Chains A and B, each alone.
Chain A
Amino acid sequence: MALPQTVIDTTEARIAGLDLPQGGWSAAARADALARLRAMGLPQRRDEYWKFTRPDTLTQPDVPQAALFDPQESPVFDGFDRLKIVFVDGVFDPAQSDDLTLEGVSIDRLADVAEADIHWARDLYGVLEARGQDPVERPLAALNTAFASDGVLIHVTGKPSRPINLIYQHGDTQSDAILHHVLRVDSGAEATILENGPAAARFNKTMEIDIADTGILHHIRKQGRDHERRAVTHMFARLGRESVLKSFTVTVNGVLTRNEVVVELTGDDAVAHVAGASLGDGDFHHDDTVFITHDAVNCESRQVFKKVLRNGAVGVFQGKILVKPDAQKTDGYQISQSLLLDDDSQFLAKPELEIYADDVACSHGSTSGAIDEEALFYLRARGVPERKATDLLTLAFLAEAVEEIEDEAIAEDIVTRLEGWLSRHS
């Protein structure tokens, strides 16, 4: 079916300003992605999947200005021993990055390896993204595959001794960054990927993750605090037998963030946990869109998303669990909750379950509420000032999501930062 002219116009206008990287092993994948993008067209305001989030500033050719912000605190993960890979406005910065050699992992730069045949990456680049286009289209991810100018290819073959930290710095108020990473975790391998930073005025990032049988990947992300930044991110993960993916994202500030996570559990006994905590004050729109497909026996998935909203901030959750006919013994859990600290803020949620197997346990819940007055009074009656008591209860609200971080030191650091944010925003 032909696309409406407005969709074609939006799509072509966006593409017109972008360069399609040529040559090398990714060329075919990029061409395919461009064809996919043209067939789907960029999202429009009336699209069902974009019902709660306006896509226009993510799809228009011009990048809305985003002022740089000095958070006046050291970047998260600074105190931890890790391998740093730094991008400034979406461009790899070798000067700030560590040497990319680490035992148990090979790391290559997407832009560098255009001429080299990295077969494992060739087999994944754009492949998981393409799989993730069905049953719901994600055109901004196809755009990413076609036009990404940089990114890293991380092949985890063992158990690297340090986490790999992708750091996204923002230096230009109108930067438009498109990064594409590919991760492969081999059978029996295990790694931790950290991500942080505001990245750019507008950031489009895709990460494709393939976890082989028994592989384990921890992913912890903190999105940057620049108030005016915009981001659309996609994570496409495919999990093999007995593999584990644990992903946690914390987001404070940001005028627009859409984080899509697409997980396919393709091997028996795989485990996928996807969690997020977001806090917004004022001009803040945060959208978590998650799609988890159970396509194997006895797999477990958890989605835990918590949002704290005040002064007109908007939170969105679209979460789906799809259980295929043969995915018996599925254990699926999904919770999305918002804490509305005033009457102006909004939480929009669309939890979905679609189950074709008959022997499954799936539960889901979505709530929206204010601070518990009983608990607040109890704390105050013990001498805790109202502000402090509210912050304590807010952190308690976020606890179920933060507990998804397995590394206690990192979890503690993130809680301290959330506490700091709360104490600054009253």
Chain B
Amino acid sequence: MLEIKNLHVKLEDEDKQILKGVDLSVEAGKVHAIMGPNGSGKSTLSYVLSGRDGYEVTDGSASLDGDDLLDLEPEERAAAGLFLAFQYPVEIPGVGNMTFLRTAVNAQRKARGEDEMSAADFLKVVREKAKSLKIDADMLKRPVNVGFSGGEKKRNEILQMALLEPKMCILDETDSGLDVDAMKLVSDGVNALRDAGRGFLVITHYQRLLDHIKPDVVHIMANGRIVKTGGPELALEVEQNGYADILSEVA
């Protein structure tokens, strides 16, 4: 589903290479996790895939179901089925959360040639999905992420994911800033979306998120490359021994 080949990325304004040949393939129905120390390039990978400005791809490719992602605008990538759950969801004063959600859903439906959803139909769907994420009416009414706690922001990300029903979900350190209960709630939300047709790429520092969202494959990223790939046991190894052992082993 998601195919990343030999991806090289540098910062646009600086002569600094961040990704130095990433190879990664996520199949439909699978959950892949990427772990790695700070500065290894994990978040950069998520931003480059979603189309954020400020990065320059110097070599390699990334495609979703055969479509070259790197050629597309961010909104086209979203319409193609890519979703990034942000590490730091952005606050947008003046835009109501509900308006935002409906605009996003309808923009994607329109891009795919589907009919837009009426306000009433949409409300019904949102209410149902919000309920399981314990998102109340007040959170839907408030401006996007403004005044939300860390946990509320992450739950709001998962709500967006549930509404947009993407093919490929990238979760960028979704566990950061979450307490145990919030982590459970968010993970349940993600697990509810696990589906044979959907792939996940879960970026995290810590193994604990992977206790809740069980990965099929775990990758270790360091210095801009995937340096080791294994099963769930790899995450446990990191938890017990840190990254140092693995990094010295592959060096």
Contact = CB atoms under 8 A, between A and B. Distances in A.
A383 B78 contact: yes
A325 interface: no
B126 interface: no
B78 A381 contact: yes
Interface stretch (A93-101, A385-393, A405-413): A385-393
A377 B51 CA distance: 8
Contact of A380 (B74, B91, B94, B164): B74
B90 A375 contact: yes
B74 A381 contact: yes
B148 interface: no
Interface string B200-214: 000000000000000
B75 A384 contact: yes
Nearest to A387: B75
A378 B103 contact: no
B52 interface: yes
Nearest to B166: A383
B90 A374 contact: yes
B79 A383 contact: yes
Interface stretch (B18-26, B104-112, B191-199, B219-227): B104-112
Interface in B80-107: 84, 86, 89-95, 99-100, 103-104, 107
A91 interface: no
Interface in B38-79: 50-53, 73-75, 77-79
**Most-contacted residue by chain B among A378, A395, A396, A400 (CB, 10 A):** A378
Contact of A382 (B91, B93, B94, B160): B160
Contacts of A399: 93-94
Interface string B155-166: 000001000100
A397 B160 contact: no
A29 interface: no
A379 B94 contact: no
B157 to A, nearest CB: 10
B104 A384 contact: yes
B103 A388 contact: yes
A305 to B, nearest CB: 15
Contacts of B78: 380-383
A380 B143 CA distance: 17
A115 interface: no
A384 B73 CA distance: 11
A388 B104 CA distance: 10
Contact of B92 (A375, A380, A383): A375
A386 B94 contact: no
Given A380-B73, A382-B78, A388 B107 contact: yes
Interface size class of A (residues with CB under 8 A): 20 to 34
Nearest to A392: B95
B51 A385 contact: no
Interface residues of B, number: 29
Given A375-B90, A381-B51, A392 B103 contact: yes
Contacts of A386: 73, 75
Contacts of B94: 393, 395-400
Contacts of A379: 92, 100, 103-104
Given A383-B111, A384-B104, A377 B95 contact: no
A315 B100 CA distance: 29
B84 A381 contact: yes
Contacts of A392: 95, 99-100, 103
A365 B84 CA distance: 35
A419 to B, nearest CB: 11
B95 to A, nearest CB: 5
Given A373-B53, A384-B107, A395-B94, A378 B160 contact: no
Interface string A280-311: 00000000000000000000000000000000
Interface string A5-17: 0000000000000
Contact of A383 (B53, B75, B95, B143): B75
A399 B143 CA distance: 11
A398 B93 CA distance: 11
A248 B194 CA distance: 50
B95 A385 contact: no
**Most-contacted residue by chain A among B53, B84, B91, B92 (CB, 10 A):** B92
A238 B178 CA distance: 54
A396 B93 contact: yes
Contacts of A393: 92, 94-95
Contacts of A383: 75, 78-79, 104, 107-108, 111, 164
Nearest to B89: A378
Contacts of B160: 382
A378 B92 contact: yes
Interface of A: 372-375, 377-386, 388-389, 392-393, 395-400
18 contacts: A377-B51, A378-B92, A379-B104, A380-B51, A380-B73, A380-B78, A381-B50, A381-B84, A382-B107, A382-B108, A383-B111, A384-B104, A385-B107, A392-B100, A395-B95, A396-B95, A397-B94, A398-B94
Interface of B: 50-53, 73-75, 77-79, 84, 86, 89-95, 99-100, 103-104, 107-108, 111, 143, 160, 164
Please provide the 5 A-B residue pairs with the shortest distance between their CB atoms, ordered closest to farther.
A396-B94, A383-B78, A399-B94, A382-B104, A380-B74
Given A373-B53, A382-B107, 5 more contacts: A377-B74, A380-B74, A383-B75, A383-B79, A384-B104
